[in-house]
Structure 1
Amino acid sequence: MTTDAPVPSGRSAPLLRVVRGDPTPEEAAALVAVLTARARAARAGDGGPAGPPPSGWRDRSRLPGRSPAPGPGAWRAAYGPR
């Protein structure tokens, strides 16, 4: 179990902390660059997740190509054997 060391006065708490391993300065810089780019994209609204996928009930891609025409036998044309 690890405990967080107290932050000296006048300094803010670190945003990242290495828990295991010993990253090189290049690896740490690459991680910071990726996290910064994702945060900026999410703030700008062009890179974050688009939200949950649409419900199957609202998915219009499964509908038939054309709407059935009203009239006698229309149900057969729409739902009968093809």
Structure 2
Amino acid sequence: MGSEGKPFLQIVRGDPGPEEIAALVAVLTARAQAAAAARDGGVAGPPSRWADRSRLLRRQAAAGVRPAGPGAWRASGLPS
């Protein structure tokens, strides 16, 4: 029920089952949340680490470790 006592959603034609009504409510809820997120700037929380493109960048080598290149395999067995 709405705040004025009237129903928020009313089926005026047909005979939908509980699954169909649940699907309709889910779609309307998702659309309302998307509209609210767009009004708020679209930031719902911290960005996902999976979506962070910086993880695809190459990491810097640790201190004291020679970078890969010619002869690096030979230097990897030598003490530093």
Question: What TM-score range do you get, normalising by the shorter chain?
Answer: 0.3 to 0.5
TM-score (norm 2): 0.42
TM-score (norm 1): 0.41
